[in-house]
Amino acid sequence: MRAARRWTAAAVAVALSATLAGCVGAAPAHPLGGDAGTRPGTPAARSATQKPTATPTPTVDPVVAYAKQRLANQTLRQKVAGLFMFHLPGTDPAALRGYVDRYGLGGMILMGDNIPGTPAALAAQTATMKASDPGLPPLIGVDEEGGDVTRLGWDDQPGADTLRSQQPAATQAAFARRAQLLQDAGISVNFGTVADVTADPSSFIADRVLGTEPGGASARVAASVTGERGTVFSTLKHFPGHGETEADSHHAVPATPVSKADWGTRDAPSFQAGISAGAELVMFGHLAYTQVDAAPASLSPAWHRILTDELGFHGVSITDDLRMLQDTGLPQYQDPGENAVQAIAAGNTMVLDVLPAGGDPDALIDAIVAAVQQGRIPASQIDADALKLLELRRSLAPKE
């Protein structure tokens, strides 16, 4: 951006000079030749004989350059496959690696059934998962909040149920330690920062929030992101916030009539704080603020525009597990391929889906490819999403 402003300033200077020259008219010819402004011996003449200053070559970000080159060599199907993060049960490193390679996935989420008994075993497992393409490793994510949601048995740091009664510094310290445990295990993405806010003990999210009111929640959400910064990628969840409902989105699509204005006062601040602190990902929840959009936020273009245009987030947006929509039993969400299409069309960069046993990754990938070919999703959007994820993944590669 700074280089762009220098070029703009230079262009403005040239244009201004030309305008002023035009205003005063052409200089009269000098008897010795040339015009009066460049006659021999004048400062202008000396300046005219000097070599022009070399224009600095713009610095090319090697991560971006690499990602663009990879994108240029991908088919549409390969680009689409890279937008998915799936799950495969078990701790067999070869099977997990084969799953990533077979489908060309952008990432894998580790659940409890993927975690072996020791840190060393998990590190070996994730190293194998990334071995096929070390220059572009898949994102490996996990829900490691602490407290009620803990995947790593050796994570001894407190969760939100403890941290929300302590100063934000305690949250930063806990998440810094947690991030180091994840990095040591080869995990790159933590779906660990719950930015939802509620004081309602009946809410299914109540035990997992970092604050019961906007101020305290915002301070601790920012602290958690700060603690993880530079170690793992931080994720804020579950946008736009489960705190206004009691229903559990694992079994229903919670809905609230809360207005956009009230949301902006009560629920938005903690997400804004996490974004300002540098969170790389935001996870969209399967819940509906009906005054904004009757659709779940995870499938809502309106909520994606709000996140980008009003909260200023330009990182990676990812759905909560799309399987949850099917689990509601609602007929409109029983086609997993259509759910994935709507998720990408709404503005998600990445689709997270913990497929049921026998679930077919090809069917979801093919559904989005078909949607692009039919014009439901612009090819340019796929390119932009794929490039964003390629850049994120490339930034994880070992330095050459």
Q: Confirm whether 351 is domain-assigned.
A: yes
Is 286 assigned a catalytic role?
Answer: no
> Which CATH number belongs to the domain containing residue 165 in this structure?
3.20.20.300
Q: How many domains does the chain have?
A: 1
Higher pLDDT: 177 or 57? It is 177
Q: What is the mean pLDDT of residues 311-336?
A: 96
Mean pLDDT value across the chain: 88
Per-residue H/E/C for the chain: CHHHHHHHHHHHHHHHHHHHHHHHCCCCECCCCCEHHHCCCCHHHHHHHCCCCCCCCCCCCHHHHHHHHHHHCCCHHHHHHCCEEECCCCCCHHHHHHHHHHHCCCEEEECHHHCCCCHHHHHHHHHHHCCCCCCCCCEEEECCCECCECCCCCCCCCCHHHHCCCCHHHHHHHHHHHHHHHHHCCCCEEEEEECCCCCCCCCCCHHHCCCCCHHHHHHHHHHHHHHHCCCCEEEEEEECCHHHCCCCCCCCCCEECCCHHHHHHHCHHHHHHHHHHCCCEEEECCCEECCCCCCCHHHCHHHHHHHHHHCCCCCEEEECCCHHHHHCCCHHHCCHHHHHHHHHHHCCCEEEECCCCCCCHHHHHHHHHHHHHCCCCCHHHHHHHHHHHHHHHHCCCCCC
Residue 46 lies inside a defined structural domain of this protein: no
Classify residue 31: in a domain, yes or no.
Answer: no
- Domain containing 317 equals 77-367+374-394
Q: Catalytic: which of 35, 250, 314, 360?
A: 250
In a domain, residue 43? The reply is: no
| Residue 279 within any structural domain of the chain | yes
Does residue 42 lie within any of the structural domains?
A: no
Catalytic residue among 143, 155, 196, 320: 320
pLDDT, residue 6, reads 33
pLDDT at 224: 98
* Annotated catalytic residue 250: yes
**Is the pLDDT score of 11 beyond 70?**
no
Is the model's pLDDT at 64 over the cut of 80? Answer: yes
For residues 301-318, average pLDDT: 98
108 within a domain of the structure (yes/no): yes
